[in-house]
Amino acid sequence: MLYYALVFFVVALIAGILGFGGIAGASASIAQFLFFIFLVLFIVSLVMRVVRRP
């Protein structure tokens, strides 16, 4: 999922450089959304690992 966030981030950067405002904004928001989902899942997995450790 982090891979897709990075891909959308790169697409947003390229679209922003080329002047495609709508595409850049949409790609940036998708990348931000996917990054936060990845971050939440990462934190949940860390907490679960600490809780399950004997």
Buried b / exposed e across 18-44, counting CB within 10 Å, b at 16+?
Answer: eeeeeebeebbebbeebbeebeeeeee
pLDDT tens digits, 40-52: 988 998 898 899 8
The whole-number pLDDT of residue 18 equals 76
The whole-number pLDDT of residue 29 equals 84
The rounded radius of gyration (Å) of the Cα atoms in the chain is: 15
**Token pair for 33:** 């959304």
pLDDT tens digits, 8-32: 788 878 877 777 767 777 878 888 8
Count of beta carbons in the 10 Å neighbourhood of residue 2? 13
